[in-house]
Amino acid sequence: MIISICSQLFDYNGDFLVPVILDDSDLSHISRRVSRSATLDGGSVIVDNGYSASDATFNIVIREIDDPTRLGLMLMIQRHSAIIVSIKNNVFSGVVETLDDKDKMKIKFLVNRQLNEA
């Protein structure tokens, strides 16, 4: 799968299409804001505050990329706090929390909001 990672602010060098290793990546974004509390009678109370894309965290593992792309991606993440990631038919804005470039490039992306919500 190929995903798009780009800076939210215009940057000639801030747009990348990168191949992702699906088996190692976590790109799920659907979860509900739910909490469960135990009650004194042995039961529980569940509070469901609905769905928000901003609860998602993507762990993106990138396949082998060439050195100029690797360097450009790292520089863009250093320069820009607001990043846009497009995955399948969804577009998300957020921030990169960490980038690990040991064996494979791994990006931890914190979603702020989903841009293509209906």
Give the pLDDT of residue 118.
56
Structure tokens at 79: 């320069």
User: Is pLDDT above 90 for 107?
Assistant: yes
Q: Residue 75 contacts by C-beta under 8 Å, 6 or more apart in sequence?
A: 13
11 DSSP assignment:
-
Q: State the SS3 of 12-51.
A: CCCEEEEEECCCCCECCCCCEEEEEEECCCCCEEEEEEEE
Single pTM value for the model: 0.84
Q: Which helix (H) or strand (E) holds 83?
A: strand 83-87
| Alpha carbon 64 to its chain's center | 19
pLDDT over 80 at 29, yes or no: no
Predicted pLDDT at 97: 95
Task: Quote the domain boundaries for residue 71.
Answer: 2-114
**CA–CA separation, 108 and 99 (whole Å):** 7
Say how many domains are in the chain: 1
